[in-house]
Amino acid sequence: MERKIVFLLIILLILSSGCSKKTFNYYNQPEKGSLVGMVYPQDSGARVSAWQGGEVAWSYIDSEGLFKIEELPVGTYTIKVEAEGYYTYEGQEVFTIYGGGTTTAGRIVLYKIPGIITSTYPSDGATDIPLDVQIRINFAKEMDTASVENAFGIDPEVEGVFIWNETKDDPYVLGKYLRFIPSYNLKGETIYTVTLNTTASDLSGVGLSETFSFTFTTRGVDVVSHYPLDGDVDVSTQASINISFRSVMDQQSVIDALSIEPEIEGTINWYKPNKTFSFYPLRYWATNTLYTVKIDTTAKDTSGVNLSDSLVFSFTIEGIKIRYSYPYDKSMNVRTDTYIHIEFNTLMEQSSVIEAYSLSPSTDGEFHWANLSEFWFYPYNDLAADSNYSVKIDTAAYDLHGSKLDKEFLFDFRTEPIRIVTNRPEKGETYVDPNSYIYIGFNTDMDQVSVVDAFRMVDFDSVEIEGGFNWNGLRGMTFYPGTTLEYDKEYLVTINTQAKDLHGVLLPRVFSLWFRTKPSD
C-alpha cells in the first residue's frame, strides 16, 4: 500500500512541473568591463575619460602613469586625456569593452604646451657655472625686444650687453633668442638670480602672466691645470712651473699664497688676462731633489673670491745628465783638429768637472767655459790620425748644489786617416807653367822630415827633379824645383807611405800627382 502512495506522489510532481515554464541559468554573463593604459609623462596628473557620444566614466593616473577605468558597460569607446600645461589628447582609436574583460589602451604621450619662455641657460638651480658664462633665454614667440631688455634683471647686478637671434636653428626669426653677455667675469661661488618681470611682452603686446625667474650658482675659484703634474719624476732642471686658474686672479694675493719647498729664488711671469702664470727659477733646480709647491686659499680672484681649495703638488728633478756632447758617440772620420764639447743639464762646479774629465789617449789642452753648464776642451795639438779616442767624465763631477753625477759618462770616436786635401797643380792638369811650384796640403799636422823624405818628383824620362822645400805650418808644404821645368813635358810627383803625422801614424796609401807643362810659344 505504501509503495502505491509513493508512486502516486511522483506522478503528481511530474504533472505539476509540466504545467509552468521556468528556466534555470547556471552562468550569469557580466555586462561591464575595464579599460586600462599608461600616460606619459608619469607626473602629469592626467585625467583619463572614456567617451561614447559623451563622457561615460573617468579616472586619474597614478604615480607611475597607470590608469584603470572600471565598471564600463559593454560597448565601444574613445579616450580623452587632459592635464594642466599639456595639449589635450583625443584619440580616434575605438576600444571595445567586453563583459568581465579588461581592454588595454596602450601608452599615451602628452605634449607640453610651451609658455612664452621655453628654455634658459643656465637652467634653474644649475651649479658649477663658469665665471665667463653667457646667459641665454629662448622664447616661444617673437618678442618686443625693448620690453624684454627693460624687464631683464640680474642679482647681484652685472653690466652687460644684449644680443638677439643668434641661433643656427632659426636665424631669420626676430626677437626669439636672447643672449646676455656680462662685461666681466661673474663672481665665484655666488648665487645669481635672473628675472623677467611682467612688462616683457610679445609683438602683440601679450606680457608674462607673472614674473619669471631662475637662479644658478657660479663655480668657485679653482686651478684648472698645473705643470709639473703631481708625482712627476725626471723633471728638467730648467723646467718652469705653470699654473692656470679658472678666474682672473689678483696677482699679489697669488704670489703671497705661493710657497716652494725647498726654497728657491725665481721670477713670476703672468699671461693676460691674468689667469695663468709661470715661475722660473733664477738658477737651475737642484738635481735629484723633491720639490713641493703650494698655493693656499688666501689667493683670490679680482672680485675678491678666495681659492676654493689649497693646491699642493710635488715633483722630482732629474739627476745630472750630459745633454750634449761632441764629437758624437761612435763617430768616424773626425777631424784631427777637433775640439771636445760637453753640455750639462745643470750648473756644475767647474773644478770638479775638470778633475773628472779625461781624454784617452792622454792629450794636453785647455778648457773654455761658456757658462757653468757648458765647456769646450781644445787640444794643444792635432789628435793622432786614424786613431780611437775615448772621453770620460767620472762620478767625481758635481753640481753647485753638491749633487754628484750618478754614473760615469763615456763616449768614443775615431779620427780620419791622413789625407792630402789640396794640391797644385791639379792632378792631370796639362797646361802648367814651367815656372810653377808644387804645393801639397794635408788634413793634419805632419812630421816634416818624414814628408820630405817621402817626396819625389821625376820627369817623363824618370829623371829626378831636385829642389827645395818650404812649410806653411805643419800642414802645407811647397816644393820649388831647382831649375825651370821643360816645356810640353810630363812630370810625376809622389809621396810614399813613409810620410807620417806628429804621432807617428803613416800615410795609408801612396799619393801621386801627374801633370804636363804647356807648349813653348
Confidence band of 237 (pLDDT split at 50, 70, 90): very high
The pLDDT of residue 170 is 52
Mean pLDDT computed over 295-302: 94
Same domain, yes or no, for 348 and 380?
A: yes
Residue type, 514: W
Same domain, yes or no, for 372 and 443?
A: no
Whole-number mean pLDDT of the chain?
91
How far is the C-alpha of 241 from the C-alpha of 442, rounded, in Å?
A: 53
Number of domains in the chain: 5
Same domain, yes or no, for 343 and 378?
A: yes
Q: Is the pLDDT higher at 19 or at 321? A: 321
**Where residue 371 sits, what CATH number does that domain have?**
2.60.40.3710
pLDDT at 394 over 60: yes
Confidence band of 169 (pLDDT split at 50, 70, 90): low
- Determine, yes or no, domain membership for 8: no
pLDDT at 114 over 70: no
Of the candidate ranges 26-35, 321-330, 390-399, the one whose mean pLDDT is the lowest: 26-35
Same domain, yes or no, for 284 and 345?
A: no
How far is the C-alpha of 511 from the C-alpha of 225, rounded, in Å?
A: 68
pLDDT at 479 over 50: yes
pLDDT at 22 over 60: no
Mean pLDDT computed over 301-318: 93
Mean pLDDT computed over 16-23: 38
Q: Which of 136, 137, 123 is nearest to 216 (CA)?
A: 123
Last residue of a domain, one of 358, 381, 415: 415
pLDDT at 401 over 80: yes
Q: Is residue 370 a contact partner of residue 386, using CB atoms and an 8 Å limit?
A: no
Same domain, yes or no, for 123 and 214?
A: yes
Last residue of a domain, one of 50, 77, 109: 109
- Determine, yes or no, domain membership for 521: no
- Determine, yes or no, domain membership for 17: no
Same domain, yes or no, for 296 and 234?
A: yes
The pLDDT of residue 28 is 53
Same domain, yes or no, for 148 and 71?
A: no
Confidence band of 6 (pLDDT split at 50, 70, 90): very low
How far is the C-alpha of 47 from the C-alpha of 59, rounded, in Å?
A: 6
Same domain, yes or no, for 438 and 505?
A: yes
Range of the domain at 243: 226-317
Confidence band of 166 (pLDDT split at 50, 70, 90): low
The pLDDT of residue 7 is 41
H or E element in which residue 82 lies: strand 75-82
Mean pLDDT computed over 82-107: 89
Mean pLDDT computed over 397-408: 94
Q: Which of 184, 188, 226 is nearest to 307 (CA)?
A: 188
C-beta neighbour count of 275 within 10 angstroms: 17
Q: Is residue 310 a contact partner of residue 296, using CB atoms and an 8 Å limit?
A: yes
Mean pLDDT computed over 254-281: 96
H or E element in which residue 32 lies: strand 32-40
Same domain, yes or no, for 431 and 498?
A: yes
The pLDDT of residue 407 is 94
How far is the C-alpha of 457 from the C-alpha of 478, rounded, in Å?
A: 13
- Determine, yes or no, domain membership for 36: yes
pLDDT at 8 over 60: no
- Determine, yes or no, domain membership for 16: no
Last residue of a domain, one of 166, 187, 218: 218
How far is the C-alpha of 175 from the C-alpha of 159, rounded, in Å?
A: 21
Q: Which of 240, 223, 316, 310 is nearest to 278 (CA)?
A: 240
Same domain, yes or no, for 57 and 125?
A: no
- Determine, yes or no, domain membership for 23: no
Same domain, yes or no, for 126 and 202?
A: yes
- Asked if the peptide bond before residue 130 counts as cis, ω within 30 degrees of 0, the response is no
Distance of CA 480 to the CA centre of its chain: 71
What is the DSSP-derived secondary structure letter of residue 221?
Answer: B
The pLDDT of residue 21 is 35
Q: Is the pLDDT higher at 468 or at 23? A: 468
How far is the C-alpha of 53 from the C-alpha of 44, rounded, in Å?
A: 26
Spatial strand order in the sheet of 357-360: 331-334, 409-415, 388-393, 357-360
- Determine, yes or no, domain membership for 355: yes
Q: What residue has cell string 821625376?
A: 458
Percent of the chain with pLDDT over 90: 79
Confidence band of 17 (pLDDT split at 50, 70, 90): very low
- Determine, yes or no, domain membership for 410: yes
The pLDDT of residue 5 is 36
What is the phi/psi pair of residue 13, to 5°?
A: -65, -40
How far is the C-alpha of 63 from the C-alpha of 46, rounded, in Å?
A: 10
Same domain, yes or no, for 247 and 333?
A: no
**Where residue 91 sits, what CATH number does that domain have?**
2.60.40.10
Q: 366 pairs with which residues across the strands?
A: 378
Write out pLDDT tens, residues 34-73: 999 999 999 999 999 999 989 999 999 999 999 999 999 9
How far is the C-alpha of 408 from the C-alpha of 169, rounded, in Å?
A: 68
The pLDDT of residue 10 is 39
- pTM for the model stands at 0.60
The pLDDT of residue 246 is 85
Confidence band of 167 (pLDDT split at 50, 70, 90): low
Mean pLDDT computed over 480-493: 97
Write out pLDDT tens, residues 190-206: 999 999 999 999 888 88
